[in-house]
Amino acid sequence: MHMTPHLREAATDREWEQATALLQRVYVAGGYTAAANAGQFMTRENLEPAGVLLVALDGEDAVVGAVLLLHPASALRQLATMYEREFRVLGVDERARGLGIGEVLVQACVDRAFASGAQAVVLWTQPSMHSAQRLYKRLGFRRAPERDVKDPRGFTRLVFQRDL
């Protein structure tokens, strides 16, 4: 079953508040980051200058998913070369999983990257993020193990790339 969310750039205070709360909740509840780290990193003050926050809204205009497509020169960029675009912090509300929202958000990043003239889209994910890895592979991303890096928290950041 797929839900067709309304997708747009976060524009209102309400959308930013809902999106950052959703991202913090998803990443902490999933065990992907500590609450203190999420509270510092996943804030409007940190994310807004770094890129475009795309939000998926349900029929009542509640944020049910979000992803940050980084600006080409973003300070949060960790992988992308000048010819690539990178996205970070993809998250979908627990109650909306399996409805195609993550796919819509990732595809929007790919489409925007292509429109900007990028040659590839890159991202890294944690080894424990199995659902995300399946999604990336389904959308044409391939593993780029030669670009993997060790995370200070003790795991290897798995890099995925999709050539455009």
Domain residue spans in the chain? 6-163
The string over 66-105, giving b where at least 16 C-beta atoms fall within 10 Å of a residue's C-beta and e elsewhere, is bbbbbbbebebbebbeeebbbbbbbbbbeebeebbbbebb
For the cut 60, the answer to whether the pLDDT of residue 75 exceeds it is yes
Q: What is the pLDDT of residues 85-135, one digit of tens each?
A: 999 999 999 999 888 999 999 999 999 999 999 999 999 999 999 999 999
| pLDDT classification of 59: cutoffs 50, 70, 90 | confident
Query: pTM (2 decimals)?
Result: 0.93
**How high is the mean pLDDT of the chain?**
95
* Contact indicator for 67, 105 with CB cutoff of 8 Å: yes
- Under CATH, to which class is 6-163 assigned? alpha beta
